[in-house]
Each structure stands twice: as C-alpha cells, then as structure tokens.
Chains A and B, each alone.
Chain A
Amino acid sequence: MKRHIKTLVAGSKPRLGGCGECQASCQSACKTSCTVGNQSCKQVK
C-alpha cells in the first residue's frame, strides 16, 4: 500500500496494429476539434 501516491487509473499502452474499424473522429459530435481519446474500440467492447 503506497502512502504518497494513489493510482486512480491504471492505464495500458496503446495497442499496436489494430483493425482500423474504429469510428472516424469527424463522425462524432465535435465536427471541428476532433480528438481520439474518447473513442472506443469495437473489438475491445
């Protein structure tokens, strides 16, 4: 148990390769300031 650091989110490295099936950013709700962090991989879900 750490006393000084609490891990809130233990992430994982981006997956190499990939199927290329994820949604295009511009299909999402922003239209002008796209991002990728809030996209979900269909294979993981």
Chain B
Amino acid sequence: MVHLFCLRGEKLAFDPVSGSLHQLDEAAWRVLSLLLEGKDPRAEGKELEEACREVEELRSEGLLFTPDHFSSLYEPPPFAPKSLCLMVAQACNLRCSYCFAGEGDYGAAGIMPEEVARAAVDFLLESAGPRRAVEIDFFGGEPLLNFPVVVATVRYGKQRARELGKEISFTLTTNAVLLDEEKERFLLEEEVNLVLSLDGRPEVHDRFRRFPDGTGSYQRVLPNIRRCYQNWASRPRSSYCYLRGTFTRMNLDFSRDFKHLVEQGFRHISLEPVVAPPSAPHALREEDLPRLLAEYEELLSEYLERWRRGEEVYFFHFELDPAGGPCLNKRLTGCGAGFSYVAVDVKGDLYPCHQFVGKEEFRLGSLKEGLTRPDLVDEFRHAHIYRKTPCSSCWARFLCGGGCHAAAYFTNDSLLKPYSLGCALMRRRLECALYALAHKKAWVLSNSPKAI
C-alpha cells in the first residue's frame, strides 16, 4: 500500500510501513495511481517508462510498497501499568460547558487524600515490573485545588523511585487560575511537565471556559500562563510545557487561535477537537469536515511561515519523529489505556483512562482490591490496529496507533470501531505533519525544496 496525497500544490506519496515520503512529478503520480488501481502503467505508453523504473527501484530499496508482515508477529502486552493518571481533584474552579468530565467532577466530586496518592505511587512502581521509566499525570478537575497532595506525591514518588532504581516523571494539566509564583516555582524546580489550558482568542476561550458566576477566565489566566511559560522557556529544559486548547464547531477557524497564541509569544501549542456527545451544539459534525481539513492546511501555512522565518514553533500534532519513533508494540496499541496506562480516581478506583472515570462498567478494580475485571483488561489489550477493520488497512496506522478508545466507545459503543470524524482529522494532521517534516528538514539544511 502507498498513500498518495496533494498538499499545497505538491504531489506526495507516503509508504506506511517504511515511513518514507516522496515528492512526485506528474508522471510518477500517474504511475502510482495506476498501480493502486491494479492497472499496468507500462500499458500507457513509453512516456511513463522512466517513472515506472524509478518506482521499481524504490520498491526494491524498501521505500515503496513495503509489505506489512507485522500482524503475525504481534503479541498483546500484559497488564503492567507504567503510567498513571491521578485524579487528584474531581472538582474545578471553572465551569467549562464543553468539559467531558461533567464540569470536572466525573459525577462524583471529591479531593484525593494523600494516602490514596501514595498507594497509587506504590502500585505504579510495583506494576511497572522491569521497566525503568514510570509516569504520573496530575489531572482533574483542576489539580491545583489539591496542591498539597501534588507536592507530597512528587516528593514521595521521587524518593521511592530512587530507592528502587527507577525514573519517575510527572505531568500536570491545569487551567492556571491558581498557578501563582510559588506553585510555579515548585513545578519548574521539580521538572514537572506542564499542560496549560488556553483555547486561543479571548472570545473563543471565554465562550466555554468560565467561572461559576459566568465570567470568562481569559484575562485571569493569561498572565499566569505567560509568566509560567516564559520562566519555563528561560531554563535549561528536561521537562516540556505546552499550551493546550480545545476547538469546537463554534471556532472552526481555529488556525486563527493558533496564530493568536503564537502572537502572544507561545511556541509550544496543541489544539484539540472537542470531545462531546453528538447532540451538543458545540460538537463537531461530519458536515464540518471539509472546513476542518482546510483549517489544518491553513494552520500548516502559518506554522511553516514561522519556520521559514527561523522561528521555532511547535504544533503538537505536526511534530513527527520518523527515525526515533516508538517500537512496534507501541505503534499497534496506541495509548495503552487499560493495560499500560490507567487512571486512578479520588477514591483509589482504577479505570482504563481519564475519560472512563466514573463509568462503573469500566471500573477495572481499585488500589485496595487490585484488578477485578481481567476480562475488561483483555478487551483493551486486544483492541489493536489489526483487530480494527478500518485501521488494519489504513495508511496512517503506524503513526496513529488506532485512535482514542474512549472516542470509539462513546461514539460507536465498541473499542474496535474508531470514531470516524476523529480518523479523518487524524489523517489530515498526519499529512500536514509529513509535509512539515520534509520542508522543515530542507530549510534546516539550507536547501529550500525545489519543484521537480
């Protein structure tokens, strides 16, 4: 299989198994199109002969039509979480009306006691087995509502990891309302990765991200986010700090939000499609797809223009790592929810990921009882791309990993039926990412891409 696509006037071919990307002229495009239709391009006459030879050369070099023999080699990994999402606060100081967590409480408001957080650290370090690196993500709700437990968990986690010869890293996702200088100092000194929520333009952010009294939070959080980001950027870094926004059908022109964030001085940005029931007025719809796909291309133009000017701007979904990406198991199982990644709620109950928290039918067990639903774990272990009909033949499968289990379940009632709108967005993001990868590389080498 080869994926042919046009972007910004260029004809491109992506070989999914080898991860190779090629720029084509009209003759090569015609040859590959005919081959994909099962036709013989040589029957078209002599003018395609040279392009045919080049295609065959690339095929023999393993850079085109590379066969996929991986399905028979795959063994689903065992239940061995190496990454926990800790719901330290199932409560929030904002009332974002698009929140998938029911305004932050997941249907059961509460604050995680320190002993639950410590038990979660112990569970993680034991369950990780021989793996050296483990991770904890402070999530909510708003985790800064329970900052003392965040501090205690970071200290305890680092101490226990050191004693056991392991490495532990932390991530914290916050709306930044409570992100004062003292908290910021702790998080930066402890090298906690930060995900700071900001949707983009003030009116876009304030439409959904409001305080309980209905006022918008943009003006309140921007100074905190700016200060924290600048302080992070000025330090030698082993952690990351990303601004993360959500777009909905109310801002299909989200490339303007990307531009706004860049103009505010931010250089690490992630903008994500909203997770919402189809009946919600802000939910993305199939009819929005042409606009959404075009918008990613618009965002790509802005992104590339910045790079062309020598500005390093990172859009999370455009940053592919073709040479140093993850190994096969990771690529086939995606996020690992339910077996290598689990969420722990405020009571210590275990769920496959943060999006399943509070859904009783997805409760895997608890820190006290251990695993009580091995059958459910097995469902997640076996929800890999070769068992998902659309994924097994999709060109994007080794870059996507099969998509979000929660999105699949909540839209199609099955872990094996991916959220089709999400797939379409993913494929366009990956096309843009491949294009960006090739062109950034060319600029870095001071060798601007030339039309062939």
Measured CB to CB, the residues of A under 8 A from B are: 2-42, 44-45
Q: Which 9 residue pairs are nearest across A and B when measured between Cβ atoms? A: A18-B327, A11-B19, A37-B399, A24-B83, A8-B438, A29-B242, A36-B401, A44-B324, A4-B28
Give the chain A neighbours of B449 by CB distance below 8 A: 8
CB of B161 closer than 8 Å to a CB of A: no
16 intermolecular pairs with C-beta atoms under 8 Å apart: A5-B24, A8-B23, A9-B434, A11-B19, A19-B131, A21-B133, A23-B169, A25-B334, A25-B341, A26-B83, A28-B316, A31-B244, A32-B275, A34-B401, A38-B317, A40-B321
CB of B278 closer than 8 Å to a CB of A: no
Residue in B19, B323, B330 whose CB lies within 8 Å of A44: B323
* Contact A30 B316, beta carbon cutoff 8 Å: yes
CB 8 Å contact bits of B335-373 with A (1 = contact, 0 = none): 111001100000000000111000000000000000000
* Contact B22 A8, beta carbon cutoff 8 Å: yes
CB closest residue in chain A, given B48 = A4
Measured CB to CB, the residues of B under 8 A from A are: 12-13, 15, 17-25, 27-28, 31, 50-51, 54-55, 57-58, 62-63, 66, 70, 73, 77, 80, 82-83, 85, 100, 131-133, 135, 137, 169, 171, 173, 193, 195, 240, 242, 244, 268, 270, 272-273, 275, 316-331, 334-337, 340-341, 353-355, 398-401, 403-404, 406-407, 422, 425-426, 429-430, 433-434, 437-438, 441-442, 449, 452
CB of B322, distance to nearest CB on chain A (Å): 5
CB of A33, distance to nearest CB on chain B (Å): 5
Please measure, in the bound complex, the distance between the C-alpha atom of A40 and the C-alpha atom of B449, giving whole angstroms: 26
Give the chain B neighbours of A25 by CB distance below 8 A: 334-336, 341, 401
CB of A13, distance to nearest CB on chain B (Å): 6
Please measure, in the bound complex, the distance between the C-alpha atom of A26 and the C-alpha atom of B130, giving whole angstroms: 21
Give the chain A neighbours of B242 by CB distance below 8 A: 28-29
Please measure, in the bound complex, the distance between the C-alpha atom of A34 and the C-alpha atom of B195, giving whole angstroms: 14
Please measure, in the bound complex, the distance between the C-alpha atom of A16 and the C-alpha atom of B330, giving whole angstroms: 10
Residue in A3, A23, A24, A42 whose CB lies within 8 Å of B452: A3
Please measure, in the bound complex, the distance between the C-alpha atom of A5 and the C-alpha atom of B53, giving whole angstroms: 11
For the complex with contacts A20-B330, A35-B430, 16 further pairs of A-B residues with Cβ separation under 8 Å are: A5-B13, A5-B28, A15-B327, A18-B327, A20-B77, A22-B330, A24-B82, A25-B401, A36-B331, A36-B334, A36-B335, A37-B321, A38-B316, A39-B321, A40-B326, A42-B133
CB closest residue in chain B, given A22 = B326
